[in-house]
Amino acid sequence: MNYNTCFHLLSLLFIQCSIVSLAMTVRNLNSDQFALFELKDRIVDPQNVLANNWTNSTSVCKWVGVSCGIIHERVVALNLTNMNLRGTIPPHLGNLSFLFSLDLSNNNFYGHLPKELGQLHRLRIIRLSYNRLNGEIPPWLGNLHRVQRLEMRNNNFTGTIPQTLVNMSNLEILNLGFNQLSGQVPSSIFNISSLKRIHFRHNCLSGGLPDDLCVHLPKLKELYFSRNELSSSIPSSIDKCCNLQILELSINQFSGIIPKSIGNLTQLKQLYLGLNNLEGQIPKEIGNLFSLEMLDIQAIKGLTGQIPTLIFNISSFKTIDLSNNSLSGSLPNDMCQHLPKLEGLYLSRNELSGQIPSSIFNSTMVEVIGLYDNKLEGNLPPITNAPKLQILLLWTNKLSGNIPNSISNASMLKILDLSQNLFSGPIPKMLGSLQHLEVLQISDNNLITGSATDHEWSFLSSFTNCKNLKTISVSGNPLSGILPTYIGNLSKSLQYFFADGCKLQGIIPIEIGNLTNMLVLELRNLQSLGLSSNKLGGPISESLCDLERLYNLFLRLNKLHGSIPSCLGNITSLRYLHIDSNKLSSTIPSTLWNLKNILEIDLSSNHLHNSHAIDVGNFRSLLRLNLSRNLLMGDNLSTFGGLHTLVSFDLSNNILHGHIPESFDGLISLEFLDLSNNNLSGVIPKSLEKLLYLKYFNVSFNRLEGEIPSEGCFSKFSSTSFMKNYALCGPPRLLVPPCKNDIHKNSQMIILHAFRYGLPTI
């Protein structure tokens, strides 16, 4: 055979192979196209991205979210993340045999994973997080030996973690967090030496971690186990994970001590051990973690002793949270001199004593300082250099002296709570220079308004510059004086004003109506007992009705007189109305009964009366109604029977007459009912036995008669519930005469016994 003949034969063979290869490529690409069309048919695509793009008129390799290989022109990657797709994953995706990466994360896929996906042996990446997939994690995932990233967090997977995952020998990232997985973590998983991240946060996993947890994980950088039910001790071999940067074991049931070996994890940046059952002390070896940025060992009541001072030499710290423990001792005075990056310091709810270190307010990056509920004492140090401080929480300590004017240097302060301390002296007007202030809590101290001749609350005038102020609490201070008219000049964003126990006097200024966003006005019990001459007087100002967002109104235990403004019934946001124990008179305005969403009304201990029947038919959620100790009259109580949510109802000490209505059996949630000291007559309805939750019942000092019900809740009431009535009868334990029908029944029984035994009758 000559050269030309050979050349022609080889050329023909090459052409035939090319044709066959091209035909196979087309056929296989058609198979990929069919699989993707099946996916398209099973999902809802609200943005019509696939509907407009995945069509026969466009090559599969140019479809949105689809990538093809250069050599075989087969689909190698499917990325449909963040498309808000909803539906199930079809088994046909298992025919995408060249698929390298599958990313369907951040959608609304639901149902089980089809087993056909186990055929995709070329897969390296599986990302299915943030969907609604359910069922168990399939064991066939272990057949996908080449997978490097398996991410299925934030789904609804249940059951146990399959042992077969150990076969995924190239796995680098395993993320199954935020599911409902239970049972023990298979110890074999910790033999996958390629793992860099293990994420099982927020499941229901139980049992302990193996002692050799880190022996085979030299590359591990991140370990997340928080919010599970893991127990036993933290493995002391944890330091074998020498490259670990994040260790998260918080919110479990780990016991024992914090292992000293954690101090060998020199690459560690974040350490979370809080909310466990650990005990002992914080090991000083943690001071060796010079890369640490976040330390969270909070809420461990068994954690005692002092805070190791070496911790405060870790210059990389951004957050230290050792709150809610039983730590004691004092804080080093230079504790913040070596913490230039510190943003958050949380040491609250411990037993720390001594003074607050002055260096704590010389940290240029700090934003939050929480030292509340300790035993700290002494003066508050000057705030010299805290330009980013936004939250300062120091309540419930023993801090004393004046509030320093230097607090104005914390110009970004939003929340300041110094309540329940021993601060004295005047409230500094410099607080008003904190233009970003939203919450000011300085209650329960010994603060005064200003000079001895300053009888008005002049410090309030400084807060007119605080345009974001929402809460002011000065309760429990000996401020005295009167509320100034310029209270109405405070920020319209003010929602909560607390001033109870402050010995206020005078009237409520009408200018308070300018605070149109007020939710809670707390002025109850303004005087100490025995200082009646200082109680608020005058009428309730109608300007309160301008507070259209008012949620709570407490004006009890004052000397307010006159009528209740009818316009209060227009404050539809009102949920709690307590104006009891005053000297209010005239009629109860009918508009109050239009507050359909109100939860509590207390008008007791006044001189109120009603001109017509009280109509409470509009109430939807009323829980407590107290109209006792007034001058209410009338005989129509039937309207109250529709208050199905009512828990406590007090009409005692009025002048009501008529009968107790049968409709009271509709008060199905009632626990407390007091109708005593009225002129009610007739019988106690037997239907009240249906009130299953009734614990207190009092109808004493009325004119009731007839048999006292004995079943249901009435079997538990004593004689004090029924005393001093007209003609009630019942069992001897209630200290009332027996009912006549009982006497008749007893006589019949005596005669019957006499005949049966031949006894003589009289």
pLDDT tens across 285-338, in order? 999 999 999 999 999 989 999 999 999 999 999 999 999 999 999 999 999 999
Spell out where 243-285 has E strands.
246-248, 255-256, 270-272, 277-281
Top-confidence residue, 61 or 532: 61
Domain's final residue, options 602, 635, 653: 602
Same domain assignment for residues 662 and 704: yes
Residues with Cβ within 8 Å of 305's Cβ and at least 6 positions away in sequence, in order, are 280, 281, 282, 327, 328, 329
For residue 226, give the DSSP letter. -
Read off the pLDDT band of 343 (50, 70, 90). Answer: very high
Domain membership of residue 90 (yes or no) is no
Check residue 499 and give its pLDDT.
81
Domain membership of residue 406 (yes or no) is no
Average pLDDT over residues 341-352: 97
pLDDT above 90 (res 30): no
User: Closest by alpha carbon to 89, among 55, 120, 119, 116?
Assistant: 116
pLDDT above 90 (res 758): no
49-53 long-range contacts, Cβ below 8 Å, gap at least 24?
49/83, 50/83, 50/85
Q: SS3 string of 101-146?
A: EEECCCCEEEECCCHHHHHCCCCCEEECCCCEEEEECCHHHHHCCC
Same domain assignment for residues 563 and 689: no
Same domain assignment for residues 659 and 547: no
Average pLDDT over residues 470-492: 81
Average pLDDT over residues 470-488: 82
Residues with Cβ within 8 Å of 637's Cβ and at least 6 positions away in sequence, in order, are 651, 656, 658, 660, 661, 664
Same domain assignment for residues 657 and 762: yes
Residue 403 C-alpha from the chain's centroid: 32
Same domain assignment for residues 673 and 567: no
What does each C-alpha distance from 601 to 517, 592, 618, 625, 660 come to in angstroms?
A: 21, 9, 14, 5, 22
Same domain assignment for residues 577 and 627: no
Give the number of C-alpha atoms closer than 13 A to the C-alpha of residue 105, restricted to the C-beta side: 16
Check residue 603 and give its pLDDT.
95
* 232 phi-psi bin (left φ>0, alpha ψ -120 to 50, beta other): left
Average pLDDT over residues 34-54: 94
Q: How many domains is the chain partitioned into structurally?
A: 2
Q: State the Rg of the chain over Cα.
A: 38
Average pLDDT over residues 509-536: 49
Check residue 2 and give its pLDDT.
58
Q: Are 619 and 644 in contact (CB under 8 A)?
A: no
Q: Are 531 and 499 in contact (CB under 8 A)?
A: no
Domain membership of residue 646 (yes or no) is yes
Domain membership of residue 722 (yes or no) is yes
pLDDT above 50 (res 676): yes
d(CA 78, CA 759): 102
What does each C-alpha distance from 486 to 59, 406, 456, 505 come to in angstroms?
A: 73, 26, 10, 16
Sheet of 255-256: strand order equals 255-256, 277-281, 302-304
Domain membership of residue 621 (yes or no) is yes
| Neighbour-count burial for 286-305, b at 16+ CB within 10 Å, e otherwise | bbbbeebbbbbbbbbeebbe
Give the number of C-alpha atoms closer than 13 A to the C-alpha of residue 658, restricted to the C-beta side: 13
Spell out where 356-403 has E strands.
368-370, 375-379, 391-393, 398-401
Same domain assignment for residues 549 and 641: no
Same domain assignment for residues 581 and 631: no
Q: Are 204 and 181 in contact (CB under 8 A)?
A: yes
Where helices occur in 156-206 by DSSP H, the ranges are: none
d(CA 54, CA 366): 52
Average pLDDT over residues 638-643: 83
Domain's final residue, options 568, 602, 636: 602
Domain membership of residue 25 (yes or no) is no
Count of beta carbons in the 10 Å neighbourhood of residue 68: 19
Q: Are 64 and 50 in contact (CB under 8 A)?
A: yes
pLDDT above 60 (res 662): yes
pLDDT above 90 (res 235): yes
Mean pLDDT estimate for the chain? 88
Q: Read off the CATH number of the domain in which 736 is found.
A: 3.80.10.10
Sign of the Cα pseudo-torsion (28, 34, 35, 36, in order): positive
What does each C-alpha distance from 319 to 145, 293, 309, 675 come to in angstroms?
A: 40, 6, 16, 58
For strand 43-44 and strand 86-87, is the pairing parallel, antiparallel, or unpaired? antiparallel
Span 699-747, pLDDT tens digits: 999 999 999 998 999 999 999 999 999 889 999 989 899 998 754 444 4
Domain membership of residue 23 (yes or no) is no
Q: What percent of the chain has pLDDT over 90?
A: 66
List the structure tokens of 103: 């990313």
Residues with Cβ within 8 Å of 71's Cβ and at least 6 positions away in sequence, in order, are none
Same domain assignment for residues 669 and 709: yes
pLDDT above 90 (res 412): yes
Read off the pLDDT band of 11 (50, 70, 90). Answer: low
pTM above 0.85, yes or no: no
> By residue range, what is the domain housing residue 732?
609-762
Read off the pLDDT band of 72 (50, 70, 90). Answer: confident
For residue 762, give the DSSP letter. -
Same domain assignment for residues 614 and 582: no
List the structure tokens of 402: 């004046």
pLDDT above 70 (res 550): yes
User: Closest by alpha carbon to 225, among 213, 237, 212?
Assistant: 213
Same domain assignment for residues 510 and 630: no
Count of beta carbons in the 10 Å neighbourhood of residue 708: 22
The dihedral over CA atoms of 611, 615, 621, 624, expressed in degrees to the nearest 10, equals: 40
- Angle of CA points 288, 291, 295, to nearest 5°: 80
Average pLDDT over residues 745-759: 41
Domain membership of residue 707 (yes or no) is yes
Count of beta carbons in the 10 Å neighbourhood of residue 740: 10
Q: SS3 string of 478-491?
A: CCCCECCHHHHHCC
For the chain, the residue count is 762
Q: SS3 string of 56-80?
A: CCCCHHHCCCEEECCCCCCEEEEEC
Average pLDDT over residues 554-564: 85
Domain's final residue, options 570, 602, 634: 602
pLDDT above 80 (res 564): yes
Same domain assignment for residues 567 and 649: no
